[in-house]
Structure 1
């Protein structure tokens, strides 16, 4: 064989072999890239699904925690409200108990000193009134009321005046005087007649109406007020000498 052809055959063989390998390599690389391209979206989808599930679980957990928080808050709020209601009711019960005890003490204090007559007690708008059987002057009447934790009555409405008038048959001292300044009538709680807004002085058709500060019996004048039943006439306040002996009305709030 001619050497030239032999070499040419070898070269062709070599080239052919190299091209085959090259083609095989190109094919392998393309397949790998194709697999890679197919695999990559799959993993991406898997990751997205896992991420979505994780987010879903996280949101579900947050919702559950929020619902639990709201439920606990509602329960705590309800308990707090119930506690406040119970505390208010307890406070009211305590106040009522205290008031009842004071009224019983008030009653017992007076009954111990008035065994010679029937004790008269009347309640109105948070006040309890005691109508005495004994007669004292104005200052001693007030001192007696104060010694029992009370004071002479203060009248601040027409209804109150009507109730008191209906319970008596003769004059009773009330907690009104002008001892400091003539003509300036003040209650024992330091309220003036203008402040209470009511006054029920006896009015005369002829002669001067009350208060008239008559000085025939007491040169110092008439500086203390009393109330009496004048055929259930509401205008039944009289000024009189504070030295006179009269029954009296005490009140405790």
Structure 2
């Protein structure tokens, strides 16, 4: 996890500079694990910035199973193309959010 808050694209570059990429969460087990130790909002490697409504991971794979907070993703204000994992104990804690917002990120190698 980064120590500084950055935009989604800055976060992705930070992860790449450190030999990885933003985290891909494709199992409930991984989602539960990450939820158990991240107690703040963090960027994950998911966005629909290429095509609105089609969520893709940083490895270009499409989203199969999401852990969305109730009512999400909702593209509120028409400008929510990146995905954060919110600071909730529930595993349903993903939210689409403006990519320019600054928060910490989760990287993986």
| Match in the other structure for 1:247 | 104
Distance in structure 1 (CA, Å) of the matches to 2:92 and 2:46: 15
| Match in the other structure for 1:222 | 80
1:193 is displaced (CA, Å) by 1.1
1:180 is displaced (CA, Å) by 0.8
| Match in the other structure for 1:51 | none
Distance in structure 1 (CA, Å) of the matches to 2:86 and 2:31: 10
Deviations 1:118-172 (A, max 9, x none): xxxxxxxxxxxxx112100000000010011100000010010011111111110
Matching of residue 161 in structure 1 with residue 23 in structure 2: no
| Match in the other structure for 2:74 | 212
Three-state SS of the structure 2 residue aligned to 1:235 is coil
1:211 is displaced (CA, Å) by 0.6
Three-state SS of the structure 1 residue aligned to 2:10 is helix
Find the partner of 1:172 among 30, 42, 58: 42
Distance in structure 2 (CA, Å) of the matches to 1:143 and 1:226: 16
1:228 is displaced (CA, Å) by 2.0
Find the partner of 2:57 among 165, 168, 187: 187
| Match in the other structure for 2:6 | 136
Structure with greater proportional helix content = 1
Three-state SS of the structure 2 residue aligned to 1:176 is strand
Alignment of 1:75-86 (within 5 A): none
Aligned CA-pair RMSD = 0.9
Alignment of 1:35-46 (within 5 A): none
Distance in structure 2 (CA, Å) of the matches to 1:165 and 1:180: 27
**Higher gyration radius (CA):** 1
| Match in the other structure for 1:199 | 66
Q: How many residues are aligned here?
A: 109
Matching of residue 148 in structure 1 with residue 18 in structure 2: yes
Unaligned runs of 5+ residues in structure 2 are none
Distance in structure 2 (CA, Å) of the matches to 1:148 and 1:133: 13
Deviations 1:206-246 (A, max 9, x none): xxx0111111xxxx51000010231x101000100000000
